[in-house]
Structure 1
Amino acid sequence: MFLKSIDTSGLRKDSETLFDIFDKVVQEVGVENLVQFITDNDASYKAAGKKLQQKYDSFYWSPCAAHCIDLMLENFSDPRHFPVINETIKKARKITKFIYNHAWVLALMRKDFTKGRDLCRPAQGKEIVEIVLEDREFWAQCQFIVKISEPLVRVLRLVDGEEKPAMGYLYDAMERAKGNIKARCNNKVSVFNPFIRIIDARWDKQLHSPLHAAGCFLNPAIYYNPCFKNKNDVARGFMACVMMIELDIDNQDKIIEKLELYKNAEGDFGHFLAIRQRDKINPVAWWTNFGHEVPTFQKFAIREYKKGRDALDPINLENIDLMEEWVSEDSELIDGEDLDWLLDLGNGDKRVSSFGCFAFLDFDLNPTKEC
C-alpha cells in the first residue's frame, strides 16, 4: 500500500535531513512492524539509512537491489578495465540511436509529408552500414556481451518486479547467475574472473545482508533442493535475522526450538502435500498452508516476504521475459533535430521502445520507475 509522500523541494537532501524524515516514518509505522528499509544508493541516503538501522537495531537497511545490479552491468563496460566492451557498446548505441531516431518518425514522415522519401542523413547511414555489415569483430563482441550480461539481467528483472516477492530468491539467484557466467565462459578463470569480481564487490559491500540469506533459508523450493549447497551460510543468516527482527526473547526461543522440524522436513513440513508444493507455490503461501504446527515460526517466516497479488505463483528465473517493460531513456537516444519532430507531434506517445538484443548492449537498464 502507498503510505505517504513528502514535498522536499525546499529541503537539503543531506543525511541528517533524510534521517529525520525517515525516522518520523518509522515511528509512524511502528518499529515492531518493520523488516527492511530500502533507499537508493546515493551517499546521503545510504548514510541516513545506516544511521536509522543503528538507532533501532531491529530491522535492516538495504540499498535498491535493482540499482546495485544495474551498477554491476555498468561496471562490465568500464573503459578502464574493459575497453573493447566499451567500444562495442558505443557502436551498438549508434545503431540503436539510428533506429530509434528514424524508425517510427520516418514512417510517419513518409506517409504524411515526404511522399515516401527518407529523411536520414547519408553519412550517418553509411557509418551504420559499416558497423552492421563489415565489422565482424563487433558482432562477436555483441555475442560475448549478451552472454555475460544475460544472467544478471534475469536477476535484475526478478528484483524489479512489483507483484511477486523476490526476497526468498535473490541470494540463490545471484549464486546461479555467477555460476551461469562461469559456464558461459567455459569455466576459464581468466575470462570470467574479472566479471565475477565486480559482482562480488558490489554484492558483498552493498547489497547482501542476512535478510537475503534468511529469505533463501525460508524458501522451501531452494532450501530442500538437493542441488543447493549453501545451507550452512543461509542458516547463519537466518539466525542473525531472528536476533535482529524478533524483539521478543521468548519468541526467539520458540523459533529456534522448532528449527530442526523445518531443517529435517518433519511434522507438517514432511507431509507429502507440503513436499509436493515446495516448488509449486510461493513461499508465503507454503508457510501459510503448512506452518500451523509452529505458529511463532510461521509468523516470522511470512514477515520476511512481501505478499503480492501473484503470491501463489513461484518465481522461475528461466521464464523471466528479458524484454518486457524495458524502456530506454529519451534523452540519450534523440538528438536535437529529431526532438523538433517530436514536439510537432503534439500530445502523441513520445516513449521509445527498446529493440532486440541491443537492450543488453545499451546497458541503460533502469526502467522508468522509481526503486
Structure 2
Amino acid sequence: MAVSDGGPVFIKAIDGSGEFKDKHYIVGVLRDAIKEVGHEKVVQVITNNANVMKSARALIEVADTRFASVVIMLKRLKLIKRCLQAMVISEQWASYREDDVGKAQKVKEMILSDLWWNRVDYILEFTAPIYDMIRVADTDKPCLHLVYEMWDSMIEKVKVTIYQHEGFEDDEYSSFWSVVYDILIDCWTKNCTPLHCLAHSLNPRYYSTEWLSENSKRIPPHQDHEKCLNRFFEDVNILNVVKSEFAAFSEGRFPSPAVLTDRNKMAPARAEDLVYVHSNLQLLSRRNAEYINRDTKM
C-alpha cells in the first residue's frame, strides 16, 4: 500500500509461495515497490517487526508492538523456571548490590513462590486458545473462511478452562469470566465484518455431518441468526435472489469430505485481482460522507 496526502491506495499483492523469505527476498520486494512508485516520492517504508523485516534494514525506526508479548514472555519464564530459581538462590544474586535491593528480594520471592507459578500456569492455560487463534490468523495461509468459527470455538474453550479452574458448573455465574467475555466480545465486535460471516456461511465444512457431530452445540451456518446477507445486499430484489440461491446452496449439506477440496479453484492471479479491487473500494468508500454517517458502515 502507498499513503500520501491524497490518502491510502492499495497497489498490489505479491504471491510469495515457493519463495524463501529471507532478508534478500524482502529487500528485493521493497526495492521493486520503491522503483514502481518512484524513489523520489518515498520518504518512509513501514513493515511489521518480524526478524526478517529487521534484517532487511528498510526502516527508519522499529516500533515496539504488543503482539501477544505478555503470553510469550510467560511461556519463556515457565520454560526456564529451574534456571531462574537456581539464579535467585545463588551467592552471586545475594551479593548483587548495584541495583535496587528491594526489587531483587521481591523477584526472588516471586520466582521461589509456588503460588506465583500456579498463577502463571493458569494465565497460560486460559489464554492458550486466544494465543493459538492469533497464531493461525497471523500467517500467509488463507483463513478468512475460518475466522468466524475460530472465534466461537476460542471463546467456548476459554470459558471451559476458567470454569474448571474455579469449580463452577456451566450455568453458574463467574465474575472473572464475565470480564474476560466482555473483552473478547468487544474485540470481536471491532474486528468482525459481514465478510467473515459470509465466508463462514459458504464453507462446505460447516455443513458436513462430521463437523456438526463433533459438538452438540454446533449448528450449520444457515441456522445462525447472524444477518450477513442483509448487511451485504441492501436492494430488496437482489437480496431475495441471493437468499434463494443461499437456500439452495445450504440445503445440499455437503456430506462428502471430497467437496471441501473440490470447490476452491482460485488461482493466485485471480486472488490478487480480487484483493486489489476490494481493498481500493474500501479505501475509496472512506472518502464519502456516508462512511461517517451511516449506522451500518463497514
Q: TM-score, normalised by structure 1?
A: 0.40
Higher RCO structure (Cα 8 Å, ≥6 apart): 1
Q: TM-score, normalised by structure 2?
A: 0.49
